[in-house]
Amino acid sequence: MSRYFIEVFYKGTNYSGFQIQQNANSIQAEIEKALLIYFKHAFSLTGSSRTDAGVHALSNFFHFDSEVLDNRSEEELTKSAYHMNAILPDDIVIKRLYKVNDDAHCRFDAITREYKYYIYQHKTPFLSDRAYFFPYKLNIDKLSVAASALLGYEDFTSFSKKNTQVKTFQCKLSASMWQIEGDMLVYTVKGNRFLRGMVRGLVGTMIKVGTGKISIDDFRKIIEDKDCSRADFSVPPQGLFLVNVTY
């Protein structure tokens, strides 16, 4: 029995999240359905990085074990991905289906994950499902100072939603910055792992810095207090993209 990785990208608007769940449609459920239809065999997928309802991904991964695909060449696996894309909804696409080492794990072997959060400040009908419309003044210099400050911390308890089952709130960030990309204000963050709701909590709380509602010192204190009730998780999901997972 061999192990395979599936790389996917998707628009999360119509889904309850990445991971399969009861009585709700998910990215995993659609991929498993396409695998079943094409290979006429049920597969159990393990996901790399969970994304919440409405969140998008330019690159995310599953792995599975199977004997059904063992005699297929790389070219045949590529053709299989092509045919499964014809089965999948238009908002989910398989980028690659490929064989890996038997002990490879798409979640635990990930070295970094990179997210971007997109904000637009001038009304347009073309971005409402892929970015956050925030038509208020934001000080990008203050946002940048707040983003840089995050690199000095590893305990992000304040930016993890309640009722999460993790053993540690330690995360090592290797990049944290605000930039202007065309007409968009974009927050980019890269780290070895992320907590439930963490990126949206960071963005929402930094926006309070950028609007002058709190100071940089207040922001630092929110981090150091390790109290998630003080962070702001209210920014909507559609602005968030999982951009890359590296192995």
The CATH code of the domain that includes 20 is 3.30.70.580
Residue 134 in domain: yes
Give residue 202's pLDDT: 98
Rounded to an integer, what distance in angstroms lies between the CA atom of residue 185 and that of residue 179?
A: 6
Residue 106 in domain: no
Mark whether 141 is an active-site residue: no
pLDDT band at 164 (very low <50, low <70, confident <90, very high): confident
Q: Are residues 89 and 135 in the same domain?
A: no
Residues facing residue 7 across a β-bridge: 61, 96
The CATH code of the domain that includes 233 is 3.30.70.660
Supply 159's token pair. Answer: 């930016």
> Diameter of the chain by CA atoms?
61
Identify the domain boundary among 100, 125, 151. 100
* 3-state DSSP helix/strand/coil % of the chain, to nearest 5: 30, 30, 40
- Model confidence at 61: pLDDT above 80: yes
Q: Are residues 68 and 154 in the same domain?
A: no
pLDDT in tens, 167-199: 899 999 999 999 999 999 999 999 999 999 999
Residue 105 in domain: no
Number of domains in the chain: 2
Identify the domain boundary among 78, 100, 122. 100
Of 118, 153, 117, 142, give the one whose Cα is nearest residue 208.
Answer: 142
Residue 181 in domain: yes
> What is the rounded average pLDDT for all residues in the chain?
95
Residue 119 in domain: yes
Structure pTM?
Answer: 0.94
User: Above pLDDT 90, what percent of the chain?
Assistant: 93
User: Exposed, middle or buried by CB within 10 Å (0-12, 13-18, 19+), for 17?
Assistant: buried
Residue 233 in domain: yes
With H, G, I as helix, E, B as strand and everything else as coil, classify residue 34. Answer: helix
Q: Specify the pairing of strand 46-47 against strand 92-100.
A: unpaired
Identify the domain boundary among 41, 71, 100. 100
pLDDT in tens, 77-100: 999 999 999 999 999 999 999 999
- Structural domain boundaries enclosing 56: 2-100
Q: Are residues 68 and 186 in the same domain?
A: no
Q: Provide DSSP, 44-69.
A: --EESS--BTT-EEEEEEEEEEESTT
Backbone angles phi, psi at 62, to 5 degrees: -125, 160
- Model confidence at 216: pLDDT above 80: yes
Q: Are residues 117 and 87 in the same domain?
A: no
Q: Are residues 84 and 180 in the same domain?
A: no
- Model confidence at 165: pLDDT above 90: no
Q: Are residues 15 and 128 in the same domain?
A: no
CB-based contact 201:138 (threshold 8 Å): no
Identify the active-site residue in 52, 141, 217, 225: 52
